[in-house]
Amino acid sequence: MTVESFYQKILNPPEPWIVSKVNLSGLGPRVNVWLTHEKHSFCCPECGVEAPLYDHMPERSLQHLDTCGRETCLYVALPRVKCPVHGVKAVAFPFAGPHQDVTNDLERKCIQATIANSQADIARLFGLSYDRLAGIMNRALQRGMSLMGEKLRRKRRIPPYMWYVPRGGWD
Ligand SMILES: [Zn+2]
């Protein structure tokens, strides 16, 4: 088993995504994992209709859950499709939303940890900068606010930590 097939198994990305390269950076503290895709057409994120591949966005990195205590980053150049109705659009990536610099899995763990830990503890625990953690908290807050609505939150005086709703809801 190669290190790429190992990460393919543990990350288990949905089709058509595959782990194309893994760099363990020697004995350094970080594991870098590159994901790519096999097929050449994707669905338009606006209408869901399959559209031909147009190009790829610049490569971006996403901090993921650690692997055996080593910080793990995913790298991907997201494909863009050319939809006849909506024009050129970046496709949805299963591991993160369009404006995230951390994966959904890491974001979910951080949000769950907010219940019993200070933000300083969470940043230290997950190896996150305060800016990155603030981004996670803000996205969770926006999701929570959109689910509950500002009126309901004010009426019931729900404490701030209850606003945080992870993507896909609580497990
Ligand atoms: Zn479209």
Question: Do 50 and 109 fall within a single domain?
Answer: no
pLDDT value, residue 145: 76
The residue count of the chain comes to 171
Q: Which of 41, 67, 94 is the last residue of a domain?
A: 94
pLDDT surpassing 50 at residue 171: no
Is the pTM above the cut of 0.75? Answer: yes
- CA 43 to ligand 1 center in whole angstroms: 8
Residue 150 forms part of a structural domain? yes
Distance 91 CA to ligand 1 centre (A): 11
Residues 119, 63 share a domain: no
Q: How far, in Å, is the centroid of ligand 1 from the Cα of 21?
A: 31
Which of 94, 123, 149 corresponds to the end of one domain? 94
What is the pLDDT at residue 157?
60
Per-residue model confidence (pLDDT) at position 38: 85
User: Each residue of 1-39: pLDDT tens digit?
Assistant: 899 999 999 999 998 999 999 998 666 788 999 999 987
Mean pLDDT within 33-58: 91
User: Could you give the number of structural domains in the chain?
Assistant: 2
Same domain, 85 and 162: no
Residue 171 lies in a domain: no
Q: Are residues 69 and 7 in the same domain?
A: yes
At residue 88, the 3 state secondary structure works out as strand
CA 51 / ligand 1 centre spacing (Å): 8
Distance 47 CA to ligand 1 centre (A): 4
**pLDDT bracket for residue 150 (50, 70, 90):** low
Q: Can you spell out the DSSP letters for 1-38?
A: --HHHHHHHHH-PPTTEEEEEEE--TTSSEEEEEEEES
Taking the centre of ligand 1 as the mean of its atom positions, its distance from the CA of residue 56, in whole angstroms, is: 17
Give the residue with greater pLDDT, 41 vs 58: 58
Which tops the pLDDT comparison, 162 or 69?
69
- 37 C-alpha to ligand 1 centroid (Å): 20
pLDDT in tens, 78-128: 999 999 999 999 999 999 988 889 999 999 999 888 888 888 898 888 888
Last residue of a domain, one of 65, 94, 123: 94
pLDDT of residue 98: 84
Contact 13, 94 (CB under 8 A): yes
Q: Distance from the CA of 42 to the center of ligand 1, in angstroms?
A: 11
Residue span of the structural domain in which 105 resides: 99-166
